[in-house]
Amino acid sequence: MDKKSKSLSKNQKIVLDFIQKNKKPVKAYSILSNVQKKGINAPPQVYRALDKLIKIGKIHRVESQNSFVACKISNCGTPHKTVFSICNSCEIVSEINDPKLFKNLKDFRDKDGTVFDGYNLEFFGTCKSCKNKQIENTKH
């Protein structure tokens, strides 16, 4: 079907599997401690798998958190073109899929007319659920 998808190696599968099971982004050393029972012993094994998974677009790095999250955009396959919203309170991260915004970013040129290969955009705010909790805590 998908010509691009060379099958992943053992460690890459293990790491991807763990990341995909998590709703929130996960940290490298959290991945490590959670997959040690599967035979991954040391940081380089995790970081190598992460590098590869990022390169093929299966996961993204959340720069402001040093954490990693599965790509939610069906087989986007594009690393380094990412938009996230991040809750300052619970730190949950959602990948944003907004065609109009994508177009704005894709079409952006700087003053020199430079065309960019990629971008990373992180929005910060308070998610709905956390906002509701804050309101709850106010009335007492």
Residues binding DNA (CB under 7 A): 6-7, 9-12, 27-30, 39-45, 47-49, 51-52, 66
CA 24 to centroid of chain Cα atoms:
9
Nearer to DNA, 10 or 131 (CB): 10
CA distance 125 to 122: 10
Q: Choose among its own copies, DNA, none what residue 45 binds, the Cβ cut-off being 5 to 8 Å by kind.
A: DNA
Contact with its own copies (CB under 8 A) among 21, 63, 77, 90: 63
Nearer to its own copies, 58 or 81 (CB): 81
Of 54, 27, 39, 31, residue with least CA distance to 118: 54
Q: Choose among DNA, its own copies, none what residue 39 binds, the Cβ cut-off being 5 to 8 Å by kind.
A: DNA
Q: With both helix axes pointing from N to C terminus, report the angle between 10-21 and 28-35 in degrees, rounded to the nearest 10.
A: 110
135 binds its own copies (CB under 8 A): no
- Classified as helix, coil or strand, 69 is strand
